Amino acid sequence: MAICTKCSNKEPDGTLFCTKCGETMVLSEQTKVEEANLTPSIDTIDSSVIQGLSKSMRMEGEINVAIAAKINNRDVVIRIQKNEYTLGRAALGQAVIPDFDLTPYDGLEKGVSRIHALIMTTEKEMFIRDLTSINGTQINGIRLSPNMDYPIKTGDLISFGRLSMEIKTINRL
91 makes contact with another protein (CB under 8 A): yes
In this structure, how many other beta carbons lie within 10 angstroms of the beta carbon of residue 86? 23
39 makes contact with another protein (CB under 8 A): yes
HSE-CB for 112 with a 13 A CA cutoff: 31
**Segment near another protein (CB under 8 A); pick from 16-24, 122-130, 151-159, 164-172:** 16-24
21 makes contact with another protein (CB under 8 A): yes
- Nearest CB to another protein, comparing residues 50 and 158: 50
Residue 48 CB, shortest distance to another protein, in Å, is: 4
Q: Round to whole Å and give the CA distance between 16 and 108.
A: 42
79 makes contact with another protein (CB under 8 A): no
**Are 11 and 5 spatial neighbours (Cβ–Cβ below 8 Å)?**
no
Helix (H/G/I), strand (E/B), else coil: 60: coil
Residue 140 CB, shortest distance to another protein, in Å, is: 30
Q: Which of residues 94-153 bind another protein (CB under 8 A)?
A: 94-97, 103, 108
Phi, psi of 164 (to 5 degrees): -100, 145
Helix (H/G/I), strand (E/B), else coil: 144: coil
Q: Round to whole Å and give the CA distance between 84 and 51.
A: 8
User: Interface with another protein by CB under 8 A: which residues?
Assistant: 1, 11-17, 19, 21-24, 26-27, 32, 35-36, 38-41, 44-45, 48-53, 55, 91-97, 103, 108
